[in-house]
Copies of this chain bind each other. A is one copy, B any other.
Amino acid sequence: MKYDRIYNFSAGPSMLPLPVLEEVHEELFNYRGSGQSVMEMSHRSKVFQGIHDEAKADLRALMGIPENYKILFIQGGATLQFSMIPMNLKKNGVFDYVVSGSWSNGAAKEAARFGKVNVVANSKDRNYAYVPDVSDLPISEDADYLYICENETIYGTTYQELPNTKGKILISDQSSMFLSKPVKVSDYGIIYGGVQKNVGPAGMAIVIIREDLIREDIDESVPVYLRYHVQDKGDSMYNTPNCWAIYFCGKVFKYLQSIGGLEAVHKNNVEKAKPLYDFLDQSKMFKGTVDKKDRSLMNVPFVTGDEELDAKVVAATKAAGFENLKGHRTVGGLRASIYNAMPKEGVVALVEFLKDFEAKHG
């Protein structure tokens, strides 16, 4: 590949679009005649305000975000959102969670600091290899919201249909599927995602929040940085934001629009994942770990069923220049994360390699 770059199958941070890296490289010392790197700009300057406003407008256009939703750029990753959501949305102090893997489980555990958590469905019985049926959940009558993690990075599952929330607010962690396909924003109260999987450099989450959920009258004990009202009033600049991530993500929004928007991105992702899933479905050595109906287009875990052989495959992929294919310890085996910026050729090359490996060692 250009610049001797590798195929990086990391679950995140992971590959970023090369055309965006090239623009950033070009502008590094002097952003468009401003005489400064974006890393050196006052966040209160006109030039940075322009970058920030453009990023928001481009994301709004790309996702079709209605006017009654705000876009916030907040540091601290998804982890800080695990706390901010219950702290800011608490009314009755009852929070409903679907636990379909590690991240929704982590979010539910964190919410329990701030109220009563009801796990209304979970898929622990088969090591989170599927998404629970969410068509008729026992939603709590006084639930402040229903929470899901829409794509579980570690287990490689994704929701095909959104839950029937029975009128409650739906909150979705889309970290590992953010901008991978079109979504209907108005179905949600909050969509959020850490940017480091599918969008930009680590150190920021994007929070898309319906404006009526931004309340000033929350508990006095909620730290100032964690208040959506403060973040919104300051237009994500109550204090100095992660300017570099805002700049970089803004470029990615433009890039995705330029290649046809999220419909085209989704089509690419479907076509890109297909050779890998097709291979797994006919292989005698490798097997996908997720129920077919719930397979993620972003994270593809698979195993041989033999830990020693798994380790051998991982070592062989690494030696062949495919990076970060070792599966998470809770699933074992291998995991190929194939986010937007992974080219189809990367997946095809991996499949060829695995075929070859199977032919030699099968």
Instruction: Please give the residue numbers on chain A whose beta carbons come within 8 Å of chain B beta carbons, in ascending order.
Output: 1-6, 8, 10-16, 18, 21, 24-25, 28-30, 33-37, 39-43, 45, 75-80, 82-84, 87, 110, 113-114, 194, 196, 200-204, 220-226, 238-245, 248, 321, 323-324
CB nearest to A341 among chain B residues: B40
13 contacts between A and B (CB under 8 A): A1-B35, A13-B39, A13-B40, A13-B41, A13-B243, A14-B42, A18-B29, A25-B28, A79-B224, A113-B224, A203-B241, A203-B245, A223-B226
Contact between chains at A13 and B43 (CB < 8 Å): yes
Given A30-B4, A239-B78, check contact A43 B113 (CB 8 Å).
Answer: no
CB nearest to A24 among chain B residues: B28
Given A202-B242, A220-B113, check contact A37 B21 (CB 8 Å).
Answer: yes
Q: Tell me how far the C-beta of A339 lies from the nearest C-beta in chain B, rounded to whole angstroms.
A: 10
Contact between chains at A43 and B202 (CB < 8 Å): yes
Contact between chains at A29 and B21 (CB < 8 Å): yes
Query: Which residues on the B side are within 8 Å of A14 (C-beta)?
Result: 40, 42
CB nearest to A243 among chain B residues: B202
The complex places the Cα of A319 from the Cα of B163 at a distance, in Å, of 58
The complex places the Cα of A30 from the Cα of B202 at a distance, in Å, of 17
Contact between chains at B224 and A83 (CB < 8 Å): yes
Contact between chains at A8 and B21 (CB < 8 Å): no
The A contact surface, by secondary structure, is loop
Query: What are the nearest 9 A-B pairs in CB distance?
Result: A6-B35, A203-B242, A83-B223, A75-B75, A3-B29, A10-B42, A39-B201, A79-B239, A202-B240
CB nearest to A247 among chain B residues: B201
The complex places the Cα of A2 from the Cα of B29 at a distance, in Å, of 9
Contact between chains at A42 and B239 (CB < 8 Å): no
CB nearest to A5 among chain B residues: B35
Query: Which residues on the B side are within 8 Å of A114 (C-beta)?
Result: 221
Q: Tell me how far the C-beta of A248 lies from the nearest C-beta in chain B, rounded to whole angstroms.
A: 7
A8's partner among B36, B226, B248 (CB-CB below 8 A) is B36
> Besides A8-B40, A10-B41, A79-B224, 6 other CB < 8 A contacts?
A10-B40, A36-B323, A39-B202, A42-B324, A82-B223, A203-B204
Query: Which residues on the B side are within 8 Å of A87 (C-beta)?
Result: 223
Q: Tell me how far the C-beta of A169 lies from the nearest C-beta in chain B, rounded to whole angstroms.
A: 21
Query: Which residues on the B side are within 8 Å of A3 (C-beta)?
Result: 29-30
Contact between chains at A76 and B76 (CB < 8 Å): yes
Contact between chains at B194 and A240 (CB < 8 Å): yes
The complex places the Cα of A14 from the Cα of B240 at a distance, in Å, of 12
The complex places the Cα of A196 from the Cα of B44 at a distance, in Å, of 13
Query: Which residues on the B side are within 8 Å of A240 (C-beta)?
Result: 12-13, 77, 194, 196, 202-203
The complex places the Cα of A223 from the Cα of B1 at a distance, in Å, of 43
Contact between chains at B35 and A321 (CB < 8 Å): yes
Contact between chains at B6 and A42 (CB < 8 Å): no
The complex places the Cα of A244 from the Cα of B242 at a distance, in Å, of 10
A28's partner among B13, B28, B224 (CB-CB below 8 A) is B28
Q: Tell me how far the C-beta of A354 lies from the nearest C-beta in chain B, rounded to whole angstroms.
A: 20
